[in-house]
Amino acid sequence: MHSKLALKKMISLGVEVPLPLRHKKKTLGDGDKVYFEGFEIKNLDKSVSPEESESDTRVHVPFITDGSVISPATDRDLIETSHVLTDGLCGAPVMDEHGFVAGIVEGIVPTDHDNPFLAGAGATVTSSAIHNFLDQSEELMMKKILPESLINKLYHARKAIQKRGGTIPADFFESVIHSKVGETFSEEEKNKLVKIVEDVSFGKDFEINFNDLEKMANRMKDDRQAEEEQEYSNREKK
């Protein structure tokens, strides 16, 4: 509930949600300019440390700086920044010059590092690595809901969309709903399944109650087991 209220507040303040993720294949290069926007943690009561204080007097103050890539890689980038990044910026987005998320701040190299080239640099997880993580997470989730044959159709449909910018094949959703598994779903479950498949096919995030997901996954598991037992029985008869 609180997260939804916070999200609405961010949108009302003009914050773009969600931030667009840089294309998977468009990795940053040496010298590319990037920008950091997040928060710096400051202690209002400097007379005592946060550990000694009875109440937490720390606040989050907006922090903005820029930088340039000094060591690009597929999954991690090192970035030299105009101002050393603060601890409060860990997990913050790294924006490219076009406003796309090019990575996420993972950590900061200590300023007293033996190598002056690395000292104070920001270490970031690249957009390519983020894409891979999202794809793998999505695949694991879908395997709990759909049989392999339908998962293959799902990814085939997505590739077709990405290549020609078209729509999902007309018979795609029908093949899901009218499959042996789909026939066992209630109307509510069918609607949820269609929504999930549609959102995932277009690369969107989707929300589903965990209990609903677990129920669908268990139903799928039972159906698969029943089909396997039936297939085994048919073979025995032959």
Q: What is the CATH number of the domain that holds 39?
A: 2.40.10.10
Structural domain range at position 23 = 2-45+56-126
Nearest alpha carbon to residue 216 among 150, 136, 133, 135: 150
Query: Does 107 lie in the same domain as 38?
Result: yes
Residue 196 resides in a domain: yes
Query: Does 120 lie in the same domain as 18?
Result: yes
State the helix-helix crossing angle for 187-201 and 210-237, rounded to 10 degrees. Answer: 100
Query: Does 223 lie in the same domain as 193?
Result: yes
What's the confidence (pLDDT) of residue 228?
65
Show which of 65, 97, 126 is a domain's final residue.
126
**Measured distance CA(101)–CA(88) in Å, rounded:** 18
Query: Does 101 lie in the same domain as 202?
Result: no
Query: Does 116 lie in the same domain as 32?
Result: yes
pLDDT digits (tens, 9 = 90+) for 189-205: 777 777 776 666 665 65
The partner residues of 94 in beta bridges, in order of sequence, read 36, 103
27 in Cβ contact with 128 (< 8 Å): yes
Residue 219 resides in a domain: yes
Residue 137 resides in a domain: no
Residue 178 resides in a domain: yes
**Measured distance CA(195)–CA(27) in Å, rounded:** 31
Residue 172 resides in a domain: yes
Contacts (Cβ under 8 Å, ≥6 apart) of 91: 104, 105
Residue 179 has pLDDT above 80, yes or no: no
Q: Between residues 68 and 42, which one has the greater pLDDT?
A: 68
**How does DSSP classify residue 21?**
B
The average pLDDT across 161-171 equals 56
3-state secondary structure of 175: helix
Q: pTM of the prediction?
A: 0.61
Give how far Cα 190 sits from Cα of 32, 82, 209, Å: 46, 52, 15
Query: Does 210 lie in the same domain as 109?
Result: no
Residue 134 resides in a domain: no
Query: Does 86 lie in the same domain as 7?
Result: yes
117: pLDDT confidence band, cut at 50, 70 and 90? confident
Residue 139 resides in a domain: no
Domain count, the chain: 2
What's the confidence (pLDDT) of residue 152?
73
122 in Cβ contact with 36 (< 8 Å): yes
Q: Which two tokens stand for residue 95?
A: 């924006």
Percent of the chain whose predicted confidence (pLDDT) is above 70: 58
* Strand 58-71 versus strand 101-108 pairing type: unpaired
Q: Which two tokens stand for residue 168?
A: 């999902």
